[in-house]
Structure 1
């Protein structure tokens, strides 16, 4: 099966005929073992108006070279215009579409760097990647991602996401943004930043967690906590500063001086009351 480019050139050189007819898409032949995406498809099966079925109609010039080119995948049960060169059905290709399910564009350079643009009605993804195994004779060919930009446009949760990867293709940072919140992950998730309506949260793995909102501000590290709203809260090792100070004042209040003169308990109780206005449990 030659490429469409070569076939068309052959038609021009030899004055061959191209037959075009309307047909209904009855099957999308997905690539279950695709090197890129199992939703990829390079051929379809169609049914002509007279009931004849033509299988493996091409969607791109070369179905062997999947690294470059434009692939337009029609919607199943939609109508297309299929063309046959010189009456040979194995040379059939789709020349026009009525409905499109998905569109895919791939670019490749001599350094085996790839740019892939994948889009449907709910998604737009731009992916930069590089070939992992440089020897094309080694199968299957694998890839390392470099960076990705993705827009999910469904009504339930529209989202924009950007991801960067290290030289081995491992995700190192991610920024996800939707109508409700923004999430930033840095250094393989060791630092997280979450921004919601009236609240910001910063989490550093094995470090501090900070929350700033319209109702309170808090800092946490292991079992150490500092919170502030209308009052302060300080605790560590399951001990609370307010309760500890209250206990201290209570103990001091119980002291009886040997000479028979007690401490000024009234002043201690006033301090205790002041602490309650500053601290909370």
Structure 2
């Protein structure tokens, strides 16, 4: 079976007839065993106005070569214009669309590296990836791919993300932006930077967590917690600094020396009051 490019050349060099007619898309033939994406589709089934059904109508010139090309997938139950060369149904292809479900473009270079653009009504994705192990045409194994970089926009969530991967295809950083937050994740959440309106948070896995807002600043590390708002708060080892200082002053206030003269309790009470203006529990 020749591809559409060859058929068009034949039509151009001969007086072949091309019949075009309106038809309804009744089935999208998804590629469950696709090399790239199980949502890929390269043919559709259509029904003519007279009720005749034509299967496997092409969406691209060559449905054998799935490595690259531009594919437009119509919506199911939408109307299209289908063309047939010399009345041979196996030569049918979709020539015009009324409604589009999805469009994807795939480029491939000589180094088995790919650039993909995938678009539907809620999503726009650009992906750079590479086939692992070189060409696999002589083997029956399904090829594997590793990602190099990716940019994605989600209209439904109003979210934009950019991801980068190491030489093994493992994600090493991801930047996410939406109307409420900017988030940067490094080494799969080992370090997270989050920026919201009047609020910033930095988290380092097995390390410090820093939180800054218009209301307070805090630093955390295991059971150590330091906060600043209108006062200071310091906790460590399950103990609070203000509480421990208050306990110290209380104990000093209870001291009675041998000569019968104790400490100046009035001064200690003043110090205790001053501490409460600086610290909190």
Give the structure-2-normalised TM-score: 0.97
Aligned partner of 2:146 in structure 1 is 144
Aligned with 1:45: secondary structure? strand
Give me the whole-angstrom Cα distance separating, in 2, the residues matched to 1:261 and 1:280.
Answer: 32
Aligned with 2:248: secondary structure? helix
Give me the whole-angstrom Cα distance separating, in 2, the residues matched to 1:205 and 1:122.
Answer: 33
> C-alpha displacement at 1:135, in angstroms?
3.0
Aligned partner of 2:102 in structure 1 is 102
**Cα RMSD (Å) of the superposition?**
0.9
Structure 1 gaps of 5+ residues are none
Aligned with 1:243: secondary structure? helix
State yes or no: 1:4 paired with 2:4.
yes
> C-alpha displacement at 1:216, in angstroms?
0.4
> C-alpha displacement at 1:187, in angstroms?
2.3
Divergent runs of 4+, >4 A: none
For residues 25-174 of structure 1, the aligned pairs below 5 Å read 25-137=25-137, 138=139, 139-154=141-156, 157-174=157-174
Give me the whole-angstrom Cα distance separating, in 1, the residues matched to 2:236 and 2:275.
Answer: 18
Aligned with 2:62: secondary structure? coil
Give me the whole-angstrom Cα distance separating, in 2, the residues matched to 1:226 and 1:269.
Answer: 25
The number of residue pairs the alignment matches comes to 279
Give me the whole-angstrom Cα distance separating, in 1, the residues matched to 2:66 and 2:248.
Answer: 76
Give me the whole-angstrom Cα distance separating, in 1, the residues matched to 2:214 and 2:185.
Answer: 23
Give me the whole-angstrom Cα distance separating, in 2, the residues matched to 1:218 and 1:265.
Answer: 34
Aligned with 1:64: secondary structure? coil
> C-alpha displacement at 1:14, in angstroms?
2.7
State yes or no: 1:270 paired with 2:270.
yes
Give me the whole-angstrom Cα distance separating, in 2, the residues matched to 1:35 and 1:276.
Answer: 67
Aligned with 2:111: secondary structure? coil
Give me the whole-angstrom Cα distance separating, in 1, the residues matched to 2:133 and 2:94.
Answer: 33
Give me the whole-angstrom Cα distance separating, in 2, the residues matched to 1:196 and 1:91.
Answer: 56
Give me the whole-angstrom Cα distance separating, in 2, the residues matched to 1:62 and 1:115.
Answer: 19
State yes or no: 1:230 paired with 2:230.
yes
Aligned partner of 2:252 in structure 1 is 252
> C-alpha displacement at 1:98, in angstroms?
0.8
Aligned with 1:104: secondary structure? strand
Give me the whole-angstrom Cα distance separating, in 1, the residues matched to 2:189 and 2:245.
Answer: 39
Give me the whole-angstrom Cα distance separating, in 1, the residues matched to 2:21 and 2:200.
Answer: 59
Give me the whole-angstrom Cα distance separating, in 1, the residues matched to 2:228 and 2:202.
Answer: 16
Give me the whole-angstrom Cα distance separating, in 2, the residues matched to 1:249 and 1:67.
Answer: 78
> C-alpha displacement at 1:13, in angstroms?
2.3
Give me the whole-angstrom Cα distance separating, in 1, the residues matched to 2:50 and 2:133.
Answer: 48
> C-alpha displacement at 1:48, in angstroms?
0.2
Give me the whole-angstrom Cα distance separating, in 1, the residues matched to 2:62 and 2:135.
Answer: 21
Structure 2 gaps of 5+ residues are none
Give me the whole-angstrom Cα distance separating, in 2, the residues matched to 1:65 and 1:167.
Answer: 27
> C-alpha displacement at 1:113, in angstroms?
0.9
